[in-house]
A = this chain, B = another copy of it.
Amino acid sequence: MHAVLRMCCPDRAGIVAELSNFIFRNRGNIVHLDQHVDAEANVFFARIEWMLEDFLVPRTGIQNAVDDLVRPFDPTFLGLDFTDRKPRVAIFVSKASHCLYDLLVRRDSGELDIEIPLIVSNHETLRADADKFEVPFHHVPISPSTKETQEEEELRLLDEHDVDTVVLARYMQILSDGFLDRCGASIINIHHSFLPAFVGAKPYHQAYERGVKIIGATSHYVTPELDQGPIIEQDVIRVSHRDSIDDFVRHGRDLERIVLARAVWHHVRHRILTYNNKTVVF
């Protein structure tokens, strides 16, 4: 079992020495150490993963020990996770099944070492698909007049199932600011364009209209501004005048699945740090 420490703080000399000393003198064995300095923003980032076997600090005391250790560095972010706790991920969908299947198959194959306690949808369309994988499916229909109460219901479900990550797997609803304020979980979205190009609705149609020669997909954390959150992962594919909008959509589905899966993979392995509306992905 491993511990994973992520930290973000103002850059100064000696941080790596301090962190690695702490682990070394407590007989932890560092498996991965990644550090990065954004010289322009003067911010230091680190992710250290070490084995807890033989570690002198008992597991229940590690959080306190780490707090004491990093306090002098004034961290703007500190995360401590243990790899024996599986992230609990809720998947929100509408009618498109490709991203949902993709995540479920990756869970079953063990590629994504996560629990998926529930699927939430504003449509009934994918209930049978959820059933195939024996994941509880909650139909929470949304209309302008019901949005507020229905988001209450969604928040209640997330709370009840102790969810720490929400994945919007082509969920076609915009979450209200109130939802975002109150939702303690991280929220990951897949947008079917190469952001910041083609924000908003029907990006493949926008791309087709503009005559681009490459289309893309973008996975990002959700923030109140639509499609403006920190980008986690992007990928693209070449298209030509021979490709119709249907071809854009078909190629795009593959991009969406892969880009979203990579983003979720990094997220649930505690490999991402965010700052200044950007991500560091170790």
Please give the residue numbers on chain A whose beta carbons come within 8 Å of chain B beta carbons, in ascending order. 13-14, 16-17, 20-21, 23-24, 27-33, 35-40, 45, 97-98, 101, 105, 108-109, 111, 132, 194-198, 210-214, 216, 230-236, 238, 240-242, 244-245, 250, 253-254, 258, 261, 276-281
Contacts and interface: CB of A to CB of B under 8 A. Distances in A.
B231 A213 contact: yes
Contacts of A240: 281
Contact of A111 (B111, B198, B250): B250
Top 3 A-B pairs, shortest CB-CB distance:
A211-B278, A17-B20, A197-B197
A83 to B, nearest CB: 15
Number of copies: 4
Given A194-B194, A195-B210, 13 more contacts: A17-B20, A17-B23, A17-B24, A40-B245, A97-B105, A196-B198, A197-B197, A211-B230, A211-B276, A236-B236, A238-B238, A241-B278, A254-B258
Contacts of A253: 111
Contacts of A241: 36, 38, 45, 278-281
B234 A212 contact: yes
Contacts of A212: 195-196, 231, 234
A279 B241 CA distance: 7
Given A109-B97, A211-B279, A16 B36 contact: no
Residue among A35, A36, A241 with the highest chain B CB neighbour number at 10 A: A241
A40 B136 CA distance: 40
Contacts of A279: 211, 241
A79 to B, nearest CB: 16
Contacts of A232: 213
